[in-house]
Amino acid sequence: MVQKVDFDNYANEYEKTLEEDLKFFGEDNSYFAEYKIDIVKKNNRL
């Protein structure tokens, strides 16, 4: 069974943690946000 996570506990540190983790890929979080938006658009075409 998957344990649920209360993301509110991480909200204050989210941006900082995300930026640190994405340094490995050489991209900032806007790249991945745009990528996710494109996926949603493709999957919700009528």
How does DSSP assign 7-40, residue by residue?
Answer: GGGGGGGHHHHHHHHHGGGT--HHHHHHHHHHHH
Global confidence as pTM: 0.47
8-31 per-position pLDDT tens digit: 888 889 888 888 888 888 878 888
Q: What is the pLDDT confidence band of residue 42, given thresholds at 50, 70 and 90?
A: very high
* Domain-embedded: residue 23: yes
Is the per-residue pLDDT at 46 higher than 60?
no
* Domain-embedded: residue 8: no
Can you tell me the mean pLDDT for 27-43? 88
Q: Which helix (H) or strand (E) holds 41?
A: helix 29-43
* Domain-embedded: residue 39: yes
* Domain-embedded: residue 28: yes
- Give the domain range for residue 30: 13-43
